[in-house]
Chain A
């Protein structure tokens, strides 16, 4: 069974600074996807970024980038130039390309301070 661990329940960052959220996972699969989702106070789940395990290049979406270390089973999210609107709970998620089940971490609550 896959597990996803987010070791930081809460984090805070000053506006315009950079913050990194940690995620580790455990799987015996070789082909899979990893995702970061954002859940603002509205409770809407929003996809932030995705990474396919077979790709060595780290994914980037504007101010969001990941550090994917497959051997270490680590998948951290870096948010640059943090904005007040980035305040949300962030979930790391694992998805097997063959099985249907997706596994989410417990989330990290990020607060961006003005």
Chain B
């Protein structure tokens, strides 16, 4: 158990819909990262927050947004969903930027 909690574990939704993925980082970790992993693909970095502020952005689509709240949990919002958005979405946390990241179990999103 990495100490990072992601909910829900599985999500099935229709095209055009909007979903929110939630992440609770390890106790004390200020950095939260979001990654997307499509089937049999590597990890694509989406976005990082540090202590509530956006720190780095990867190839995140405009339809996607994220935020980190004062209690340090984070949410990833995906809207106008397309079939190609089906993937495993990971959240990871670390105590500081650049340090090793500890991953949650992921949320498997299926868009039908």
Is A41 interfacial (CB-CB < 8 Å)? no
Q: How large is the interface on B (under 10, 10 to 19, 20 to 34, 35 or more residues)?
A: 20 to 34
Is A40 interfacial (CB-CB < 8 Å)? no
Once the chains are docked, how many angstroms separate the CA of A83 from the CA of B83?
38
Q: Is the interface of B mostly helix, strand, loop or mixed?
A: strand
In the complex, the chain B residue whose C-beta lies closest to that of A47 is: B100
Q: How large is the interface on A (under 10, 10 to 19, 20 to 34, 35 or more residues)?
A: 20 to 34
Q: Is the interface of A mostly helix, strand, loop or mixed?
A: strand
Once the chains are docked, how many angstroms separate the CA of A45 from the CA of B90?
9
- Given that A106-B42, A107-B42 are known contacts, is A101 also in contact with B102, CB under 8 Å in the complex? no
Contact partner of B98 (CB less than 8 A), chosen from A32, A37, A105, is A32
Query: Which A residues are within 8 Å of any B CB, using their own CB?
Result: 32-33, 35, 37, 43-47, 50, 91, 95-107
